[in-house]
Structure 1
Amino acid sequence: MNRDELAAAYAAPGRHYHNLAHIEDCLAALARIDGLSAAEREILSEAIWWHDVVYDATRPDNEERSAQLAEQHVRADIAHEVGRLIRLTKTHDVQADDRLGAILISIDLSILGAEPARYDAYAAEIRQEFIHVGDADYRAGRAKVLRHFAARKVIFPDAGFAVTYDRRARDNLARELAALG
């Protein structure tokens, strides 16, 4: 699977947020991070490209399936680490000493700390991806996810992201939770 095929996967119908624009935003965030070796940057770049390649809002195993695909297609010497990082996006939980995991998860969650208008657009895009779920069930499920992140001591495991985005993310989460009722 080459980059064109990856891009095509991200352009599949029903991808309102988990699309190529999300990957481009994540890659742009990676480009702004200093202090990474070329090898670390390559691993993170591959993890970004592959982390949502399989996305079906009706299935619980997207991350695992994405990780397996990545492990089959990226260079053998980085395949295990790329797969491991992708699997972290299932829960967004990272061990304290996992620098690359903290960076990837913080990049993936950075939308939570976006400017309010962009965050609101993101929330609407997520709703569209779950259009098959009735309103009451969606509100309950989405509120559970948002409360999970809001309850964290720090939303972003990377310290740089936490300083930059945590306050705005909490404001965005609170605003969406209030709108959900």
Structure 2
Amino acid sequence: MDTHTGTDTGADPDALRRRWAATAAAAGADRDPAPYADRLLTAWAEPQRRYHTTAHLADVLARVDVLAPHAADPTAVELAAWFHDAVYRPDRSENEERSAALAERALPELGVDAARTAEVARLVRLTVTHDPAPGDTNGEALCDADLAVLAGRPEDPDHPGAYAAYTAAVRAEYAFVPDEAFRTGRAAVLRQLLALPRLFRTPYGAAHWEAPARRNLAAELDTLTS
């Protein structure tokens, strides 16, 4: 993504379609996965998105690859990554629930069994809080993959995963919110994150992303409140 007009340049749609087809096959799908990929990619490219774009989807999928050895069911985690922001309106609070409901409709149609469909929907709903229970390795992998952007390098604003680009994209998604209200709301979110005993639950996330993410969050909070 550029910095940041909403032009989604960070993901190759053909590569994403191939990846979806492979994941659907691994999940036991017995119908043509291509129409489902097209619908998902269309959703992820809606014009109101500035951060929650196909670039974000591709980034989360790449992080899922890194964390897959930690998960009990990496295929369910990957499917959940595809659906976790498939429904997204920045002015609404029920995005995760609607995204989970979409997975509950689409995956059985595709031929995915009931148990894995239920797990995917559970994981999507978990991204409301990013607070998996101890031992929930699938939840830990998905939540860590989704939050890994917090550890982006602030000194490299042109990098798609950089923290500066992330914060600019988030502000662009909430352009309809006045500056003072946005600063207040964003500061509350940052304080809530910093108050967590751990941002990242997987061993990899704890080792590689925890410290830089906390530095980024603290620096942003200081900028917003100074």
Question: Match for residue 101 of structure 1?
Answer: 139
| 1:64–1:87 contact (8 Å) kept in structure 2 | yes
1:153 to 184, 194, 197: 197
Question: Match for residue 128 of structure 2?
Answer: 90
Q: Report the residue type matching 1:59 in the other structure.
A: R
Q: Per the alignment, in what secondary structure is the counterpart of residue 2 of structure 1?
A: helix
Higher helix share: 1
Larger radius of gyration: 2
| 1:54–1:63 contact (8 Å) kept in structure 2 | yes
2:209 to 130, 155, 165: 165
Q: Per the alignment, in what secondary structure is the counterpart of residue 27 of structure 1?
A: helix
Note if 1:3 corresponds to 2:37. yes
Residue 42 (structure 1) shift: 1.2
1:121-136 pair list within 5 angstroms? 121-136=165-180
2:102 to 55, 65, 69: 69
User: Following superposition, which runs of at least 4 residues in structure 1 exceed 4 angstroms of deviation?
Assistant: none
Q: Distance in 1 between matches of 2:59 and 2:201?
A: 18
Residue 33 (structure 1) shift: 2.8
Taking structure 1 as the reference length, the TM-score comes to: 0.95
| 1:14–1:128 contact (8 Å) kept in structure 2 | no
Note if 1:30 corresponds to 2:74. no
| 1:150–1:173 contact (8 Å) kept in structure 2 | yes
Residue by residue, what CA displacement relative to the aligned partner does 1:64-102 show, whole Å, maximum 9, x if unpaired? 000000111111331100000000001111101211001
Question: Match for residue 53 of structure 1?
Answer: 86
Question: When the two structures are aligned, how many residues end up with a matched partner?
Answer: 180
| 1:72–1:79 contact (8 Å) kept in structure 2 | no
Residue 138 (structure 1) shift: 0.4
Identity percentage of aligned residues = 41
Q: Report the residue type matching 1:153 in the other structure.
A: P
Q: Distance in 2 between matches of 1:52 and 1:132?
A: 20
Taking structure 1 as reference, are residues 34 and 49 closer, same or farther at Cα in structure 2, changes over 3 Å only? closer
Question: Match for residue 49 of structure 2?
Answer: 15
Q: How much is the aligned-residue C-alpha RMSD, in angstroms?
A: 1.4
Q: Report the residue type matching 2:75 in the other structure.
A: E
Question: Match for residue 42 of structure 1?
Answer: 75
Taking structure 1 as reference, are residues 34 and 133 closer, same or farther at Cα in structure 2, changes over 3 Å only? closer
Q: Per the alignment, in what secondary structure is the counterpart of residue 131 of structure 1?
A: coil
Residue 167 (structure 1) shift: 0.5
Residue by residue, what CA displacement relative to the aligned partner does 1:15-74 show, whole Å, maximum 9, x if unpaired? 11101000100111111235367x812101110000000000111100000000011111
Q: Distance in 2 between matches of 1:36 and 1:97?
A: 11
Taking structure 2 as the reference length, the TM-score comes to: 0.76
